[in-house]
Structure 1
Amino acid sequence: MNSSKENSSSVQKLETRLILDWIYRHDIKTEDGIPLDWYNHSYMMDVYDEMAKCEKKIVCYKAAQVTFSTAAILTTLWIAKNKGIDIIYTLPTADDVKQFAGGKINRIIAQNPILQKWVKDKDTVEQKTVGNSIIYYRGTWTQKTAMMVSSDLNVYDEVDTSKQDIIEQYATRLQHSDLKLEWYFSHPSVPGNGVSRHWHKSDQRHWFIQCEHCRKWQYMNWPESFDLEKREYICKSCKGVISDDVRRSGKWVKKYKDREMVGFWIPLFICPWISASEIIKYYEDKPADYFWNKVLGLPYVG
């Protein structure tokens, strides 16, 4: 945080949100040894909180590199230890599982003494024993792996590049659970496929910001929130420049208040370290499907 006053305020907020309090008190770090940064990642606080509650199914439309996988890893480890439930965590292929375990999960555990205490040393690439619970890491290209274990929570990472019928097979492993929880997240591909099917059943939360000039609350979108000539973020109402601090200070607002499934849309432009110029350069340099799927975090219609 930028000041002791900001830090004190954040601690007060964390005390009512158990996983965020745990992250703060244990100085939880990323796989690179960097402490989690709420100053630039305030949009992730409600995501951690909703996942840790273990109350509802969750879906996320997301751009690439918005720290969502880190959140899913930490939250599933925390849930396994503190809620005592078994978890299936899927990725598209077995090779993806190996890279994910070695390049991210194991490195996060190695950076955090509390996680080293929780997770047994003898665990394999495909599972972690956390307290009395097990997290199973599986690919989605063979039916055999889908039918081997049961669970209380299934986490489907990169849904749109996974095999959809195998994901449905994994859902059957929840049949004997009282919770029957599922999380779906991915950068989307095309409408009606993968994560898009679940997004349209969710409460569709958008990151609302308040313009510092006209005080209008709004969520940002493309291209209305951009001055393409000056390469700046702008208010959709008064066209005043939107600062990084305004983007940091947003709040999640549900589009549909009566829906049971929680939905988050995380485009790259709500990340305060990403400039408008960077977004516009992606638009200028990348193929349209890349820009829509991995930058805007939206399905692409060619």
Structure 2
Amino acid sequence: MLIKDLIGERQAGLDFAEWMHKNVRLDDGKPWDMSRRRALVEIVGNMKHRQMTILKGAQTGFSTLFLGFAIYLLDQARRNVIYFLPTQKMSDRFSTTRMDAFVNRSEYLRSRLRGTDQTGLKEIDTHFLYFVGLQSVLGAISIPSDCNLYDEVDLIDQENLDWSLDRIAASDLALLRFFSVGMFPGIGIDERYQDGDRRRWHVRCRGCRREQVVEDEFPQNFIRHKGEVMLVCVKCGTPLDVNEGRWIPEKPERTRDHVSYRVPQLIMPGLNLAFIWDRWQKAQNKPSKLAKFRCSVLARPDGGDMQPITDEVLQRVRQAGDYYWHDRWSDTITGIGIDMGDRAHIAVAAPFAGEGIRFLHFEEIDVEDLVERVKHLEHAFNAGALVIDALPYKTTSKQVVRSLTRAVGYIQYFKGSDLKEKSEGEGDRTVRVVTVDRDESLDETTDLFATVPPLALLPKPRTPAEEQVLRTVESHLKKLVKEKEKESEDSPARYKKNVANHYGMAINSARIALWLATGKGGARPGLTGGQVVGRSVVADLNW
């Protein structure tokens, strides 16, 4: 009896939906109930699926749903769970505000759940719920888990997120849950949604029986009648009941491995449609507000001017390209750019049409093999200059530069404003150095792709392997996204770091290398001291 008094007697035999309805109270004191939100029924029924992604609108109730799922796994399945958030500060705040309020509204949860001496750690019967911030790799590698929950995915450091996936490797359950408002098309939560089976909620009209995806029909399906804003069928004008719908996957062949849902605000009954319409009206002709509206209301990620290279931009690039991937090149001098890491990413660029650049070749290679590979690429592609990141492996970067026999090599640092050349080291250990402003340099590269018609082109693939690499290249280009240092309107926007945009960075270095080699091809980087860098490098080639 003493143990039951201390811990509380466990409810037994409840499925997740029953447990939520019995034990979870919402902010208004009402029990959690799916009957008012029919789109949740299938999602809750799929909670046993190994991997689930929710691309959601704001304030759609998924933090509550998955917080409940975390506690359910502790209470009913005797499992350990990690709830990941972008930073430890956010995690601690969530644990002491949302979590504590969640528990305090339920007598049963108060009797079962115990706090510990550690902030962000809760216990039921020697099983634990951890709240962890992922701003550092330490939060990603230290705790074993049966279920990882990722909230606010688009704000999480993606490399740390990738490290954290191993936390479930030893579990026979091994559940992954990702849920977030999507901020940028093709990356973050949207990329995970696209990798799943892509379920959308199709609402059936009671009048004409037409099925429709309401976020895709917006704003044509909103009308104001006698002062009331209503959601209607775009075909016959009958008011829609969003509970009369079903989930249909676009990619059913992926269902076994990964279920993914797009959940806009519009499919949640009870939301204030007049408020949504007013917000839409106020966003007109204001790109940043329109982007936020699409993200938070329609669950349609839109980076606005914070994502220079979008799917639409890449579509124009594909249409403009009329050449194929190359294994070698002799027509003109080329530039080679390398983004350094455990895996080095390489891009080769050649000039076209005066200020334009066509990219000929891409590859990814283990850094240990880079020096030997560069010796081949230098000759195969008639390289005039090569630019490689100085960091994180400066010794290898210098070895690459010193291995060149025909091209002029530079190690690259991001600092200062204008492009500058100097040297580093002494005697035969001297290497050339180029410094550029990271944000200005990336702006010059993304502008070449985004201009109409594009001045940066990508090759057509010849093989399935090349097609896969080019898909990765496009994905990395879309990840050249910006963020503001502060929320204020006048805060500068800078390109995000610690993002999987390696080919994008290699492309930027290849553009700089091409200018250094030829003095043309792409936007001209800022020079100092009146030096015509392109001519000096060509002269050094002694051809």
Change (3 A) 1:140 1:47: same
1:126-145 correspondence to structure 2 within 5 Å: 126-145=120-139
Native 8 Å contact 2:36 2:269 kept in 1 = yes
1:164-183 correspondence to structure 2 within 5 Å: 164-183=158-177
Structure 1: tracts of 5 or more residues without a match: 1-15
Matched, 1:262 2:262: no
Residues 216-268 of structure 1: CA distance to partner in whole angstroms, max 9, x if unpaired?
Answer: 222212426523565431213323222xxx21232222222221211111101
Which amino acid in structure 1 is aligned with residue 161 of structure 2?
Answer: I
Corresponding residue of 1:279? 276
Query: Per the alignment, in what secondary structure is the counterpart of residue 172 of structure 2?
Result: coil
Residues 1-28 of structure 1: CA distance to partner in whole angstroms, max 9, x if unpaired?
Answer: xxxxxxxxxxxxxxx981112233x252
TM-score (norm: length of structure 1): 0.85
| Residue 290 of structure 1: how far off its partner (Å) | 0.9
Give the distance between the partners of 1:264 and 1:288, measured in 2 at CA. 23
Query: Per the alignment, in what secondary structure is the counterpart of residue 209 of structure 1?
Result: strand
Give the distance between the partners of 2:104 and 2:206, measured in 1 at CA. 42
Structure with the largest fraction of strand: 2
Native 8 Å contact 1:156 1:185 kept in 2 = yes
1:213-252 correspondence to structure 2 within 5 Å: 213-221=207-215, 222-223=217-218, 226-228=221-223, 231-242=229-240, 246-252=241-247
Structure 2: tracts of 5 or more residues without a match: 1-12, 284-288, 305-543
| Residue 126 of structure 1: how far off its partner (Å) | 1.5
Residues 23-51 of structure 1: CA distance to partner in whole angstroms, max 9, x if unpaired?
Answer: 33x25212553321334222223222322
Higher relative contact order (CA 8 A, sep 6+): 1
Native 8 Å contact 1:86 1:135 kept in 2 = yes
Give the distance between the partners of 1:272 and 1:173, measured in 2 at CA. 37
| Residue 212 of structure 1: how far off its partner (Å) | 1.1
Query: Per the alignment, in what secondary structure is the counterpart of residue 253 of structure 2?
Result: coil
Give the distance between the partners of 1:57 and 1:41, measured in 2 at CA. 22
Change (3 A) 1:106 1:253: same
Give the distance between the partners of 2:28 and 2:238, measured in 1 at CA. 37
Native 8 Å contact 1:228 1:280 kept in 2 = no
Change (3 A) 1:149 1:295: same
2:26 paired residue among 9, 30, 36: 30
Native 8 Å contact 2:57 2:263 kept in 1 = yes
Change (3 A) 1:82 1:17: closer
Change (3 A) 1:229 1:29: closer
Give the distance between the partners of 1:68 and 1:211, measured in 2 at CA. 27
Query: Per the alignment, in what secondary structure is the counterpart of residue 43 of structure 2?
Result: helix
Which amino acid in structure 1 is aligned with residue 168 of structure 2?
Answer: L
Corresponding residue of 1:4? none
1:108 paired residue among 90, 102, 115: 102
Give the distance between the partners of 1:71 and 1:34, measured in 2 at CA. 15
Native 8 Å contact 2:202 2:212 kept in 1 = yes
Which amino acid in structure 2 is aligned with residue 50 of structure 1?
Answer: N
Native 8 Å contact 1:94 1:138 kept in 2 = yes
Change (3 A) 1:147 1:179: same
Query: Per the alignment, in what secondary structure is the counterpart of residue 186 of structure 1?
Result: strand
Native 8 Å contact 2:23 2:108 kept in 1 = no
What percent identity do the matched residue pairs reach?
Answer: 23
2:295 paired residue among 287, 293, 296: 293
Native 8 Å contact 2:50 2:174 kept in 1 = no
Give the distance between the partners of 1:175 and 1:282, measured in 2 at CA. 44
| Residue 164 of structure 1: how far off its partner (Å) | 0.9
| Residue 275 of structure 1: how far off its partner (Å) | 4.2
TM-score (norm: length of structure 2): 0.49
Q: Say what the alpha-carbon RMSD is for the aligned residues.
A: 2.1
| Residue 66 of structure 1: how far off its partner (Å) | 0.6
Native 8 Å contact 2:207 2:238 kept in 1 = yes
Which amino acid in structure 2 is aligned with residue 20 of structure 1?
Answer: A
Flag the structure with larger Rg: 2
Corresponding residue of 2:38? 42
Native 8 Å contact 2:23 2:109 kept in 1 = no
The runs of 4+ residues in structure 1 deviating greater than 4 Å are 228-231
